[in-house]
Structure 1
Amino acid sequence: MPSLGKLLTILSFGFFCSSLNSAHADTFKASLPDIMLDTTEKPSEFLGLVYLWGEILSNDINVEYYPFKRSILNIISKQADFHFPLIKNPNKSNSELGFDYSTSVITQVNFVLYTRKDRPIDIDNLSAYKIATDAAHTDLFNFPVEGIFSVDGALKKLNSGRIDGYIFSGEVADVVLKQLHLTNIHRQLYRTYDVHAILPLGGQGNKTDQMITEAQAAIAASPEYNHVINNIYVPYIEWQLK
């Protein structure tokens, strides 16, 4: 959950907005990954944003938590109105995936390519190398990648030369890189992916999509609440361990 101060700020903004949008309140069922229950990391900021969507338009958002893959299946099977967050897959159509994406890009995530400083590779020809990524994100790439569950293990594997590169969220992997202090690892931006909510396939989530679009527009239009978006997206910054 967000801190008490942040939650009070979110709710006070929501009550202000709901006074302007009190008619035709609706109820939505959110299926969220149980990682959002982590109160110390960014998932709690995502959860605060979901609550804010409800408050801004005076809607009820009933939240239930599931393991990540099960949460996505709840949308595919139409047992919930939306899941959030999910990176938009550039290689598969909505029909292949079994769900639609929200019209609004909620935030973005920077995937960073980690390589060895003493063994540079061509970022434009990654299919020629042995590349790994997080095991849950292998379908984001149109070339062969190895799935590795542990960021710590992946960076150590890269440092030892058993793989040529590792691609994953910079916000996650950078923390581990600093902890391990692997000074022979070079980092560079690979790609910035859009992050959406996902909805039942075939337009069945249109009402939910409209709700998210309107709520996001209200947040974006209020300079006072720029921090809501800033807290869930950190632009890529170029740096290297020395």
Structure 2
Amino acid sequence: MFNKRIVLVGLCMALFCTPLLVKAEGAKDLTASLALLPGVIDSPDKGPFVDLVKAIGGVYTEGKIKIETYPFARSIDNVVKGKADFHIPTVRNRAVSAESLPYRFTTEKIGNVAFVIYSNTEKPLTKKMLKEAMAQKGKFPYTIEVVPGIENQFGFPGTPSVDLTSSLQKVQKKRIDALVWAQEEADNALKTLKIKSIQREHWMDYEDSIIIAKGPQGDAVDKILSNALRKLRADKQLQPLYAKVHRPYDDWQPAKMGW
């Protein structure tokens, strides 16, 4: 009789504990590698993009998301080398072959981000001029600095920027022809520097996406992040968060500011 009770207790424990064990084994903690960008990602705890990642973590209940911050190119490299599960922010240009990249993107995008051409008012580089140069054969005539690590997404030969602030100063001093960068990040730096001799012009909008690894590991992370983004979007939580990061192109000029 005593032995039967032990068997019954053991069976009950197995029935109640098995789901917990399955959940524990299926749970996955993620490491988010975020690129340091003034006013958007200032630290692992500060910035509207950080708040967005925290919101993703809020709807992902099977594990936790650890946020780390790095310089832009290194942040992407963390994903490629398996040191992080995903990188934010990035842009996706669907005209660029996915096979040529050392990483992939999540199925679900975050939103759309406006990229701007920043050139010197005395030597402006317009959208029309850039498109004409892209269509011509031979040596590309302009020196344009772009976001490091994703310079292959823009469709024209770009030089990776070492530092956003220094790139804007190079434009001011006419050491480069232009900088092409996401509106909010570059505008934040421009307003801090108070440079009036820079002209802004909308280049184009890109998909604001998330970089993940190729292969089965990336597939698993894609499922987690894309499901979380869909839920946030369905619950109408994503757009208010994203509006604090990126907005539609704002047509203003530094020369008209009271700096």
So what's the TM-score if we normalise by structure 2? 0.68
2:57 paired with 1:54 = yes
- How has the CA–CA distance of structure 1 residues 129 and 170 changed in structure 2, closer, same or farther, with 3 Å as cutoff? farther
Larger CA Rg, structure 1 vs 2: 2
Equivalent of residue 207 in structure 1, options 188, 204, 220: 220
Q: CA deviation at 1:170?
A: 1.9
Partners of 1:34 and 1:152 in 2: CA distance? 15
Q: CA deviation at 1:188?
A: 0.7
Equivalent of residue 131 in structure 1, options 121, 143, 165: 143
2:43 paired with 1:38 = yes
**Identity percentage of aligned residues:** 24
CA contact 1:109–1:233 (8 Å) conserved in 2: yes
2:84 paired with 1:72 = no
Alignment-mate amino acid for residue 210 of structure 1: K
CA contact 1:89–1:139 (8 Å) conserved in 2: no
- How has the CA–CA distance of structure 1 residues 237 and 37 changed in structure 2, closer, same or farther, with 3 Å as cutoff? closer
CA contact 1:87–1:193 (8 Å) conserved in 2: yes
Partners of 1:195 and 1:184 in 2: CA distance? 29
Q: 5 Å matches for 1:136-215?
A: 136=148, 137-215=150-228
- How has the CA–CA distance of structure 1 residues 181 and 189 changed in structure 2, closer, same or farther, with 3 Å as cutoff? same
Q: CA deviation at 1:104?
A: 0.7
Q: CA deviation at 1:197?
A: 2.0
2:110 paired with 1:106 = yes
Alignment-mate amino acid for residue 190 of structure 1: W
Structure 2, unpaired ranges of 5+:
1-21, 135-139
User: What is the aligned length?
Assistant: 218
So what's the TM-score if we normalise by structure 1? 0.72
CA contact 1:133–1:167 (8 Å) conserved in 2: yes
How big is each residue's C-alpha offset from its partner over 1:61-88, in whole Å with a ceiling of 9 and x where there is no partner? 2415363444434433445433333322
Partners of 1:104 and 1:49 in 2: CA distance? 14
Alignment-mate amino acid for residue 31 of structure 2: A
Q: What is the root-mean-square deviation of aligned Cα atoms in Å?
A: 3.2
